[in-house]
Amino acid sequence: MRCTVLSPSPSVARPIELGARPRTLLLVVSADEIEAAMLGPTGADLGAHLRLVRSDSVAELWPQLEPLGEFDRITVALSVGVDNGWDVVAWMRELERQSLRPVRRADDAARWRHVIRGDGVELVLGLGVELESALFLDGTHVPGLALGRHRFRKGRTYQEYLAPRVLERKGARVWNRRLTRAVTEILLVWNPAILYVACPESTPIDLDHLAPKVVVVPRRPDLEAAVALWHAT
Protein backbone atom coordinates (compact mmCIF):
# COMPACT_ATOMS: atom_id res chain seq x y z
CA MET A 1 0.00 0.00 0.00
CA ARG A 2 1.35 3.44 -0.92
CA CYS A 3 0.95 6.18 1.66
CA THR A 4 1.32 9.77 0.55
CA VAL A 5 3.48 11.77 2.95
CA LEU A 6 1.55 14.44 4.83
CA SER A 7 2.92 16.76 7.48
CA PRO A 8 1.21 16.54 10.88
CA SER A 9 -1.84 18.76 11.13
CA PRO A 10 -1.42 22.00 13.10
CA SER A 11 -4.28 20.87 15.34
CA VAL A 12 -2.23 17.84 16.37
CA ALA A 13 1.12 19.60 16.62
CA ARG A 14 0.02 22.49 18.88
CA PRO A 15 0.28 22.14 22.70
CA ILE A 16 -2.46 20.06 24.30
CA GLU A 17 -4.85 22.24 26.27
CA LEU A 18 -7.72 19.86 27.04
CA GLY A 19 -8.62 18.55 30.48
CA ALA A 20 -9.20 14.82 30.99
CA ARG A 21 -6.04 12.96 30.03
CA PRO A 22 -5.04 10.78 28.38
CA ARG A 23 -7.34 10.97 25.36
CA THR A 24 -7.57 8.10 22.91
CA LEU A 25 -8.52 8.44 19.27
CA LEU A 26 -10.40 5.25 18.32
CA LEU A 27 -10.59 4.24 14.66
CA VAL A 28 -12.97 1.32 13.98
CA VAL A 29 -12.20 0.13 10.44
CA SER A 30 -14.75 -1.91 8.48
CA ALA A 31 -14.92 -2.87 4.82
CA ASP A 32 -16.50 0.40 3.68
CA GLU A 33 -16.03 2.95 6.41
CA ILE A 34 -14.00 4.18 9.35
CA GLU A 35 -15.78 5.21 12.54
CA ALA A 36 -13.73 7.71 14.54
CA ALA A 37 -14.34 8.68 18.16
CA MET A 38 -12.51 10.51 20.92
CA LEU A 39 -12.43 8.71 24.28
CA GLY A 40 -11.58 9.85 27.78
CA PRO A 41 -9.33 8.03 30.28
CA THR A 42 -12.02 5.44 31.15
CA GLY A 43 -13.33 4.91 27.60
CA ALA A 44 -16.21 7.38 27.87
CA ASP A 45 -17.26 9.20 24.70
CA LEU A 46 -16.09 12.81 24.58
CA GLY A 47 -18.25 13.88 21.67
CA ALA A 48 -19.93 12.86 18.45
CA HIS A 49 -18.56 10.03 16.32
CA LEU A 50 -17.46 10.59 12.74
CA ARG A 51 -18.31 8.08 10.02
CA LEU A 52 -15.90 8.38 7.12
CA VAL A 53 -15.57 6.54 3.84
CA ARG A 54 -12.71 4.10 4.28
CA SER A 55 -9.47 5.19 2.68
CA ASP A 56 -6.21 3.28 2.69
CA SER A 57 -4.42 6.61 2.31
CA VAL A 58 -3.56 8.37 5.55
CA ALA A 59 -3.22 11.59 3.57
CA GLU A 60 -6.92 11.44 2.68
CA LEU A 61 -8.04 10.37 6.14
CA TRP A 62 -6.07 12.76 8.29
CA PRO A 63 -7.78 16.12 7.52
CA GLN A 64 -11.21 14.56 8.19
CA LEU A 65 -10.20 13.69 11.76
CA GLU A 66 -9.31 17.24 12.79
CA PRO A 67 -12.83 18.10 14.13
CA LEU A 68 -12.32 15.54 16.94
CA GLY A 69 -9.52 17.63 18.44
CA GLU A 70 -6.38 16.76 20.40
CA PHE A 71 -5.42 13.26 21.51
CA ASP A 72 -2.54 11.38 23.12
CA ARG A 73 -2.69 7.98 21.40
CA ILE A 74 -4.55 6.03 18.71
CA THR A 75 -6.31 2.67 18.95
CA VAL A 76 -7.17 0.90 15.69
CA ALA A 77 -9.90 -1.76 15.81
CA LEU A 78 -10.52 -3.89 12.72
CA SER A 79 -13.69 -5.72 11.77
CA VAL A 80 -13.25 -9.42 10.96
CA GLY A 81 -11.47 -10.00 7.65
CA VAL A 82 -10.98 -6.34 6.82
CA ASP A 83 -7.19 -6.74 6.80
CA ASN A 84 -7.24 -9.41 4.08
CA GLY A 85 -5.05 -8.12 1.27
CA TRP A 86 -4.38 -4.86 3.13
CA ASP A 87 -1.09 -3.97 4.80
CA VAL A 88 -2.58 -2.68 8.03
CA VAL A 89 0.83 -2.63 9.72
CA ALA A 90 2.14 -0.10 7.18
CA TRP A 91 -1.05 1.95 7.53
CA MET A 92 -0.72 2.07 11.31
CA ARG A 93 2.97 2.93 11.05
CA GLU A 94 2.06 5.88 8.82
CA LEU A 95 -0.62 6.98 11.30
CA GLU A 96 1.99 6.96 14.04
CA ARG A 97 4.50 8.88 11.94
CA GLN A 98 2.08 11.61 10.92
CA SER A 99 0.31 12.04 14.26
CA LEU A 100 3.47 11.86 16.40
CA ARG A 101 1.41 9.69 18.75
CA PRO A 102 1.69 5.94 19.61
CA VAL A 103 -0.68 3.56 17.79
CA ARG A 104 -1.92 0.15 18.94
CA ARG A 105 -4.29 -2.39 17.45
CA ALA A 106 -7.18 -3.90 19.40
CA ASP A 107 -7.73 -7.42 18.08
CA ASP A 108 -11.00 -9.34 18.42
CA ALA A 109 -9.95 -10.93 21.70
CA ALA A 110 -8.93 -7.62 23.27
CA ARG A 111 -12.16 -5.90 22.23
CA TRP A 112 -14.41 -8.40 23.98
CA ARG A 113 -12.35 -10.07 26.71
CA HIS A 114 -13.57 -7.87 29.57
CA VAL A 115 -17.19 -8.71 28.66
CA ILE A 116 -16.96 -12.49 29.04
CA ARG A 117 -16.64 -14.61 32.20
CA GLY A 118 -14.04 -17.02 30.84
CA ASP A 119 -15.99 -20.20 31.58
CA GLY A 120 -17.13 -22.66 28.89
CA VAL A 121 -18.32 -21.68 25.42
CA GLU A 122 -19.22 -18.00 25.21
CA LEU A 123 -20.33 -16.10 22.14
CA VAL A 124 -20.44 -12.34 21.64
CA LEU A 125 -22.53 -10.49 19.05
CA GLY A 126 -21.74 -6.83 18.42
CA LEU A 127 -24.68 -5.03 16.85
CA GLY A 128 -24.03 -2.02 14.66
CA VAL A 129 -23.30 -1.09 11.06
CA GLU A 130 -21.62 -4.48 10.87
CA LEU A 131 -22.67 -7.46 12.96
CA GLU A 132 -19.51 -8.66 14.65
CA SER A 133 -19.00 -11.95 16.46
CA ALA A 134 -16.41 -13.50 18.73
CA LEU A 135 -16.24 -17.03 20.12
CA PHE A 136 -14.43 -17.94 23.35
CA LEU A 137 -13.71 -21.31 24.97
CA ASP A 138 -12.79 -21.09 28.66
CA GLY A 139 -11.63 -17.53 28.03
CA THR A 140 -9.50 -18.38 24.99
CA HIS A 141 -10.49 -16.60 21.79
CA VAL A 142 -11.31 -18.86 18.83
CA PRO A 143 -10.42 -16.72 15.77
CA GLY A 144 -12.04 -16.58 12.37
CA LEU A 145 -15.76 -16.49 13.20
CA ALA A 146 -17.73 -14.13 10.93
CA LEU A 147 -21.31 -14.97 11.89
CA GLY A 148 -22.71 -11.78 10.37
CA ARG A 149 -21.94 -13.09 6.88
CA HIS A 150 -23.86 -16.35 7.36
CA ARG A 151 -27.15 -16.75 5.47
CA PHE A 152 -30.13 -16.70 7.78
CA ARG A 153 -33.57 -16.02 6.23
CA LYS A 154 -34.74 -15.56 2.64
CA GLY A 155 -31.21 -15.27 1.33
CA ARG A 156 -30.24 -12.52 3.74
CA THR A 157 -27.28 -12.72 6.08
CA TYR A 158 -27.56 -12.03 9.80
CA GLN A 159 -25.95 -8.66 9.14
CA GLU A 160 -28.51 -7.74 6.49
CA TYR A 161 -31.38 -9.08 8.57
CA LEU A 162 -30.43 -6.95 11.60
CA ALA A 163 -29.04 -3.90 9.81
CA PRO A 164 -29.57 -0.50 11.48
CA ARG A 165 -31.68 0.59 8.49
CA VAL A 166 -34.23 -2.10 9.43
CA LEU A 167 -34.60 -0.50 12.87
CA GLU A 168 -34.93 2.95 11.29
CA ARG A 169 -37.50 1.94 8.67
CA LYS A 170 -39.60 -0.69 10.44
CA GLY A 171 -39.32 0.40 14.07
CA ALA A 172 -38.22 -1.20 17.33
CA ARG A 173 -41.02 -3.78 17.52
CA VAL A 174 -40.29 -5.39 14.15
CA TRP A 175 -36.53 -5.15 14.65
CA ASN A 176 -36.74 -6.83 18.07
CA ARG A 177 -38.84 -9.61 16.58
CA ARG A 178 -36.09 -10.18 14.04
CA LEU A 179 -33.45 -10.04 16.76
CA THR A 180 -35.30 -12.67 18.80
CA ARG A 181 -35.49 -15.00 15.78
CA ALA A 182 -31.79 -14.57 15.07
CA VAL A 183 -30.70 -15.02 18.69
CA THR A 184 -32.92 -18.10 19.13
CA GLU A 185 -31.37 -19.70 16.03
CA ILE A 186 -27.85 -18.88 17.19
CA LEU A 187 -28.53 -20.41 20.61
CA LEU A 188 -29.80 -23.62 19.01
CA VAL A 189 -26.87 -23.98 16.60
CA TRP A 190 -23.96 -22.84 18.76
CA ASN A 191 -25.34 -23.74 22.21
CA PRO A 192 -23.10 -21.33 24.15
CA ALA A 193 -23.17 -21.15 27.92
CA ILE A 194 -23.88 -17.44 27.49
CA LEU A 195 -24.59 -15.30 24.46
CA TYR A 196 -23.62 -11.65 24.97
CA VAL A 197 -25.35 -9.05 22.80
CA ALA A 198 -23.38 -5.79 22.74
CA CYS A 199 -24.90 -2.61 21.37
CA PRO A 200 -25.00 1.18 21.75
CA GLU A 201 -26.95 2.31 24.80
CA SER A 202 -29.60 3.92 22.58
CA THR A 203 -30.53 0.63 20.86
CA PRO A 204 -34.02 -0.47 22.08
CA ILE A 205 -33.24 -4.14 22.75
CA ASP A 206 -35.84 -6.44 24.30
CA LEU A 207 -34.32 -9.84 25.10
CA ASP A 208 -35.32 -10.19 28.75
CA HIS A 209 -37.40 -13.26 27.90
CA LEU A 210 -34.21 -15.10 26.88
CA ALA A 211 -32.31 -14.46 30.13
CA PRO A 212 -30.15 -15.83 31.73
CA LYS A 213 -28.84 -17.50 28.57
CA VAL A 214 -28.59 -14.11 26.87
CA VAL A 215 -26.87 -11.12 28.45
CA VAL A 216 -27.27 -7.65 26.95
CA VAL A 217 -24.22 -5.41 27.22
CA PRO A 218 -25.73 -1.91 26.90
CA ARG A 219 -22.49 -0.17 25.98
CA ARG A 220 -20.00 -0.43 23.19
CA PRO A 221 -17.31 -2.74 24.66
CA ASP A 222 -14.80 -1.69 22.02
CA LEU A 223 -14.74 1.77 23.58
CA GLU A 224 -13.55 0.44 26.93
CA ALA A 225 -11.20 -2.04 25.26
CA ALA A 226 -9.65 0.76 23.21
CA VAL A 227 -8.42 2.26 26.46
CA ALA A 228 -7.83 -0.97 28.42
CA LEU A 229 -5.22 -2.31 26.00
CA TRP A 230 -2.94 0.62 26.90
CA HIS A 231 -2.85 -0.69 30.47
CA ALA A 232 -1.99 -4.25 29.44
CA THR A 233 1.47 -5.52 30.32
Residue-wise pLDDT tens digits, 76-106: 887 766 666 678 888 899 989 988 999 998 8
Q: How far is CA 163 from the centre of its chain?
A: 15
Q: Which range in 2-11, 52-61, 118-127 is most confidently predicted, on average pLDDT? A: 118-127
Band of pLDDT at residue 16, cut at 50, 70 and 90: very low
Q: How far is CA 51 from the centre of its chain?
A: 12
Residue 17 has pLDDT above 70, yes or no: no
Query: For the segment 30-83, what is each residue's pLDDT rounded down to a tens digit?
Result: 777 888 889 888 777 787 788 888 877 888 888 888 888 889 999 988 776 666
Arithmetic mean of pLDDT, 178-207: 90
Residue 8: predicted pLDDT: 32
CATH architecture of 10-106: 2-Layer Sandwich (3.30)
Residue 176 has pLDDT above 90, yes or no: yes
> Which residues have CB under 8 Å from 167's CB, separation 6+?
175, 203, 204
Arithmetic mean of pLDDT, 210-228: 78
Higher pLDDT, 11 or 123: 123
Query: For the segment 136-164, what is each residue's pLDDT rounded down to a tens digit?
Result: 999 998 888 889 889 998 889 999 999 88
Number of Cβ within 10 Å of residue 226's Cβ equals: 27
> CA-to-CA distance for 126 and 132, rounded, in angstroms?
5
Residue 10 has pLDDT above 70, yes or no: no
Q: What angle do CA 93, 97, 101 make, to 5 degrees?
A: 100
Fold of 114-231: Nucleotidyltransferase; domain 5 (3.30.420)
- E-assigned strand segments in the chain: 24-29, 33-39, 50-53, 73-78, 103-106, 121-126, 132-137, 140-142, 151-153, 156-157, 194-198, 214-217
Query: Are 10-106 and 114-231 the same fold in CATH?
Result: yes
Q: Where are the domains of the chain?
A: 10-106, 114-231
Residue 103: predicted pLDDT: 93
